[in-house]
Amino acid sequence: MAQQFADPVGFSTRGSRWWRDAVIYQVYLRSFADGDGDGVGDLLGVRGRLRYLAELGVDALWLTPFYRSPMADGGYDVADYRAVDPGFGTLGDAESLIQDAHRHGLKVILDIVPNHTSDRHPWFEKAVDAGPGSPERDRYIFRPGRGELPPNDWESVFGGPAWTRLADGEWYLHLFAPEQPDLNWENPEVHAEFEDIMRFWLDRGVDGFRIDVAHGMVKAPGLPDAGHTGQISMLGNAELPYFDQDGVHDIHRSWRRVLDAYGGIGVAEAWAPNAERLARYVRPDELHQAFNFHYLQAGWSAAELRRVIDESLAAAGSVGAPTTWVLSNHDVQRHVTRYGGGWLGARRARAAAMLMLALPGSAYVYQGEELGLPEVTDLPAEYLLDPQWGNGRGREGCRVPIPWAYTEPPFGFSPPGGGESWLPVPAEWRNLTVDVQLRDSRSMLCLYREALRIRAGHPALGDGELRWLDAPEGVLMFEREPGLVCAVNVGDEPVRLDVPGTLLLSSERMKDGKLGPDAAAWWATVSA
Ligand code: GLC
């Protein structure tokens, strides 16, 4: 059935605007594949799995940071932006990975962390040594306190005050862990350094950057108090004096010029109070994409999903940008669990994948979601080291290593005879390994592969428009031109849908022509 749309080139990777409908696979490096047997994922491990990713049918990889780092925040605390951490490999490995990925038809997006460095970055070490008032301190945000109190009431995303005091009495700002001092983006040296870092990697062939905390670099003038506690619960919902300040867009504009010189793309990890504010990051002279966290946060309800989809499309469309769709990443609870866990969560996740891949724009797949992995909620206490525990919830549960093969943990994550994996893999995952799922045409993995294969070949999918169709309550149904209808039954009763056309794919077997609860289907229709 799907073959009638076969497109040998692959619609979504063709042309210079490939990113407008790319499916981008997030590799959380520490947990994807361990090539050298030390129990931690690495670049060698990714190189060995490129075929898997090409066969899955994604267009690009986003690699989480592999730079030299003391790993206070899993590599988001960078000590040298031009070096590979020895635990992840060498610069040569990074170069080989970029080349191999390209040979497999996969683009490569690196993670760049411009809001803060590691406290072991030479700049910060020099700033500490040089003392108050020095040009070295001006690369960061140092201030005197208010008596014994920090300079203002800002709170760290990881809990506690966003300021740490040095022995000489000055305080430095860190919106994340104390090991992640914020850079001062009013200092021209900081601008020059990051443009140079981008060129360093673009010269090595990368296709773009995911920009960490893209909403964070600029702070409100005078660093005014936020005025209340519990600031982190406001993230992405309300205004804060240290996030989503207008001045941040000048930085994105200057990066766009660098990116354009290479044909690279920029993806904003930006938390903004609403879809309009988020769309500002993807204006024509700024970044190419922004993660759509409002979609990720939507509950499993037809009305809520429809509202977020409409708002997202309208806001991105108003600036001519594509929308992105994200269900999971390395910072949030995995969506199988968010959607109710167990068979229910998995069933909804199947439907959610088909919905996401039918919507206009670009989609992100977080490693392991194609296997239907749930959040691991019972990791032993000795493994819970994430700095975000300071704020009540750690993120290890969504970062457990990928189960590839065999019947015992760590399921082929490390080569035979390798060490223990850095986080233990649950024994129950023996039924979720890639090997097991490839042998079962009804598995989550086969559903993703089939949906991605159809998406790549079907002219209606990817970039474009969506038209909502009338549907029974609890059902989302829309048409993509030419000739594709997607329906998702978010309700709890089976529904009969009279779609004139041929069924291409469904997340559950349809019975008596009815779409079951928590299920989705795609039909090829004949346009009038
Ligand atoms: C981003 C990353 C997260 C990290 C934080 C600080 O939100 O996704 O993992 O902890 O930035 O760099």
Q: Which pair of structure tokens corresponds to residue 202?
A: 């673009």
CA–CA distance, 56 with 368 (Å, rounded to integer): 12
What mean pLDDT comes out for the span 488-499? 96
Q: Is pLDDT at 8 greater than 90 in this prediction?
A: no
Cβ neighbours, 10 Å, residue 224: 13
Minimum CA distance residue for ligand 1 atom 2: 212
Report whether pLDDT(3) > 90. no
CA of 105 to the centre of ligand 1 (A): 28
Mutate to test the pocket of ligand 1, among 176, 271, 385, 386 (most ligand atoms within 8 A of CB): 176
Burial class (CB in 10 A: 0-12, 13-18, 19+), 342: exposed
Supply the pLDDT for residue 527. Answer: 58
| pTM greater than 0.85 | yes
* pLDDT for res 6: 34
Distance in angstroms (rounded) separating the CA atoms of residues 413 and 465: 40
| Structure confidence at residue 350 (pLDDT) | 98
- 99 pLDDT band, cuts 50/70/90, is very high
Ligand 1 surroundings by CB, under 6 angstroms: 73, 76, 113, 176, 212-213, 269, 330-331
What's the pLDDT at 472?
95
Q: 17-36 pLDDT, tens per residue?
A: 999 999 999 999 999 999 99
- State the average pLDDT for the chain: 95
**Mean of the pLDDT values across residues 207-230?**
97
Tens-place pLDDT, residues 249-282: 999 999 999 999 999 999 999 999 899 999 999 9
Q: Average pLDDT of 407-426?
A: 95
100 token code pair: 């191999």
Q: What pLDDT, on a 0 to 100 scale, did the predictor assign at position 319?
A: 97
Catalytic residues: 212, 269
Query: Mean pLDDT, to the nearest integer, of 512-520?
Result: 96
Question: Are the C-beta atoms of 350 and 521 separated by less than 8 Å?
Answer: no
Domains of the chain, by residue range, sit at: 122-173, 466-524
pLDDT value at 149 more than 60: yes
Ligand 1 atom closest to the CA of 158, numbered from 1: 10
Give the DSSP letter of residue 506.
Answer: E
Whether the per-residue pLDDT at 56 is higher than 70: the answer is yes
CA of 64 to the centre of ligand 1 (A): 10
% of the chain residues with pLDDT over 90: 92
Q: Whose CA is nearest to atom 3 of ligand 1?
A: 331
Domain formed by 466-524, architecture? Sandwich (2.60)
4-25: average pLDDT: 63
Class of the CATH domain delimited by 122-173: alpha beta
Q: Which atom of ligand 1 is nearest to the CA of 330?
A: 9
Rounded to the nearest angstrom, the distance between the alpha carbon of 514 and the centre of ligand 1 is: 43
pLDDT number for residue 11: 35
Residue 417 alpha carbon to ligand 1 centre in Å:
33
- How many Cβ atoms from other residues are within 10 Å of residue 296's Cβ? 19
Q: Are 146 and 100 in contact (CB under 8 A)?
A: no
